[in-house]
């Protein structure tokens, strides 16, 4: 019976880094991947460009994950964005931050990153077996028994790095949650996140050609009024998407499950409130007294959006602003400041880039990534209850947690 020092389940960013780290310490490491090739989701990251990480300092980086962000401190202290880029530099991959914020490989090709990880894993001596779906895991006499469809592997340590439920076409089936639960761990409620949203309002379909820069979205529910986000907004045939929606969807999907629909208010005038919008329109009228309402509004919004807001307020776009009755004018200003939208659904995990929820952080030691319930069991990456916004956050966390887990710290036998 062959016994490994470590078996890693999952060959994404977290699993690969964990396997490399352990193998570099002389551990006998086996990496199990259920698909025919490793890193399927990694190849799709950042639209194929692979936004590895970003340039934020650790405190700001952790704050972007919300109240659970401080769980990341030990991992980031050991493997922040500087150490991550140094790791890839040593592996022959040069990176840069064209916008001063998002760090990507200079090739702008995710395959560059995956190839480097495969090379480093092989160089370190880690063994990779693909087409190995793990059916169950048991721990017997301090040894993990990892059952696949046609084999049983034995290991002293086990790392679960299977990712979440997003993009099932890339292999996501929630295997890690099932395996963790079978070993006694609690899995929090799971929701799709980082995804487009459907709206009740159909007028959005007329505005698909335009992107709204620096739009602010907030939830219009009594118990969720503090939830808001700002970023670029894009309209679709059936709703909204764009960076601000992808980031904010993690807040919306749990509310949608609870309430059935979620009312939003959207500011598309770069933060201008009603009085400021009125002042802007009056100034525009002074400069161009013969312009129509639509022409004035186009100094604030794309034409397609301005037309639809006029329709919402039952005002002709060709009307003169000064001729609009007071009540309708008030409605227009209010709608320009905060345009109502109602989220009614989404496409589920098949369109979700990440998963909100996962293995409870209360049952994992942040200093080691080791289970507090099962000695020798570790977790890393998205399988845990920790997710962040777009911009390299989730990949950096996967790499950092994989690096820390791969050191196999925390067990008295080490």
Q: What's the structural domain count of the chain?
A: 2
Which domain-ending residue is among 324, 346, 368? 346
pLDDT digits (tens, 9 = 90+) for 292-330: 999 999 999 999 999 999 999 999 999 988 889 989 999
Q: Are residues 329 and 221 in the same domain?
A: yes
Q: Are residues 278 and 206 in the same domain?
A: yes
Q: Are residues 378 and 243 in the same domain?
A: no
Q: Are residues 56 and 154 in the same domain?
A: yes
pLDDT digits (tens, 9 = 90+) for 83-112: 999 999 999 999 999 999 999 999 999 999
- The per-residue pLDDT for 170 is 66
Q: Are residues 387 and 325 in the same domain?
A: no
Instruction: Say if 410 falls within a structural domain.
Output: no
Q: Are residues 171 and 215 in the same domain?
A: no
Q: Are residues 200 and 177 in the same domain?
A: no
Q: Are residues 52 and 14 in the same domain?
A: yes
Which domain-ending residue is among 308, 327, 346? 346
Which residue numbers in the chain have pLDDT < 70? 168, 170-171, 411-414
Q: Are residues 53 and 131 in the same domain?
A: yes
CATH assignment at residue 94:
3.50.50.60
Which domain-ending residue is among 346, 364, 386? 346
Instruction: Say if 411 falls within a structural domain.
Output: no
- The per-residue pLDDT for 414 is 41
Helix/strand/coil (H, E, C) string of the chain?
Answer: CCEEEEEEECCCHHHHHHHHHHHHCCCCEEEECCCCCCCHHHHHHHHHCCCCEECCCHHHHHHCCHHHHHHHHHHHHHCCHHHHHHHHHHCCCCEECCCCCEEEECCCCHHHHHHHHHHHHHHHCCEEECCCCEEEEEEECCEEEEEECCCEEEEEEEEECCCCCCCHHHCCCCHHHHHHHHCCCCECCCEEECCCEEECCCHHHHHCCCEEEEEEEEECCHHHCCCEEEEEEEECCCEEECHHHHHHHHHHHHHHHHHCCEEEEEECCCCCCHHHHHHHHHHHHHHCCCCCHHHHHCCCCCHHHHHHHHHHCCCCCCCCHHHCCHHHHHHHHHHHHCEEEEEEECCHHHHCCEEECCECHHHEECCCCEECCCCCEEECHHHECCCCCCCCHHHHHHHHHHHHHCCCCCCCCC
Q: Are residues 200 and 84 in the same domain?
A: no
Q: Are residues 173 and 206 in the same domain?
A: no
Instruction: Say if 383 falls within a structural domain.
Output: yes
Q: Are residues 187 and 204 in the same domain?
A: no
Instruction: Say if 392 falls within a structural domain.
Output: yes
By residue range, what is the domain housing residue 300? Answer: 196-346
């Amino acid at each position: 019976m062959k016994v490994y020092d470590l078996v890693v389940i999952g060959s994404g960013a977290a699993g690969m880094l964990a396997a490399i780290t352990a193998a570099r310490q002389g551990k006998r490491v086996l990496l199990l991947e259920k698909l025919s090739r490793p890193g399927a989701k990694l190849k799709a990251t950042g639209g194929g460009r692979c936004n590895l990480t970003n340039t934020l300092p650790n405190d700001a980086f952790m704050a972007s994950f919300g109240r659970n962000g401080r769980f990341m401190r030990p991992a980031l202290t050991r493997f922040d964005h500087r150490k991550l880029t140094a790791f890839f530099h040593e592996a022959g991959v040069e990176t840069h931050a064209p916008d001063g914020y998002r760090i990507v490989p200079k090739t702008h090709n995710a395959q560059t990153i995956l190839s480097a990880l495969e090379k480093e894993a092989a160089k370190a001596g880690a063994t990779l077996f693909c087409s190995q779906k793990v059916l169950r895991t048991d721990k017997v006499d301090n040894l993990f028994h990892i059952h696949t469809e046609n084999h049983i592997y034995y290991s002293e340590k086990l790392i679960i790095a299977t990712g979440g439920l997003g993009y099932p076409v890339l292999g996501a089936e929630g295997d890690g949650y099932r395996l963790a639960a079978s070993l006694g761990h609690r899995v929090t409620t799971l929701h799709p996140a980082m995804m487009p949203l459907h709206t009740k309002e159909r007028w959005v379909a007329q505005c698909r050609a335009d992107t709204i820069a620096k739009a602010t979205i907030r939830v219009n529910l009594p118990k969720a009024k503090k939830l808001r986000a700002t970023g670029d907004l894009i309209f679709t045939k059936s709703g909204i998407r764009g960076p601000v929606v992808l980031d904010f969807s993690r807040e919306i999907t749990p509310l949608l499950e609870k309430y059935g629909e979620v009312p939003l208010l959207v500011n598309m005038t770069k933060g201008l409130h009603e009085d400021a919008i009125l002042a802007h329109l009056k100034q525009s009228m002074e400069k161009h007294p013969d312009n129509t309402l639509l022409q004035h509004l186009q100094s604030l919004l794309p034409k397609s959006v301005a037309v639809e807001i006029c329709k919402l307020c039952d005002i002709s776009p060709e009307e003169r602003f000064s001729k609009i009755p007071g009540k309708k004018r008030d409605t227009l200003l209010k709608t320009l400041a905060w345009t109502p939208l109602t989220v009614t659904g989404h496409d589920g995990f098949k369109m979700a880039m990440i998963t909100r929820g996962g293995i409870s952080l209360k049952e994992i030691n942040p200093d080691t990534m080791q289970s507090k319930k099962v000695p020798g069991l570790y977790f890393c990456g998205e399988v845990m209850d920790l997710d962040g916004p777009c911009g390299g956050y989730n990949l950096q966390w996967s790499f950092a947690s994989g690096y820390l887990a791969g050191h196999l710290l925390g067990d008295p036998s080490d």
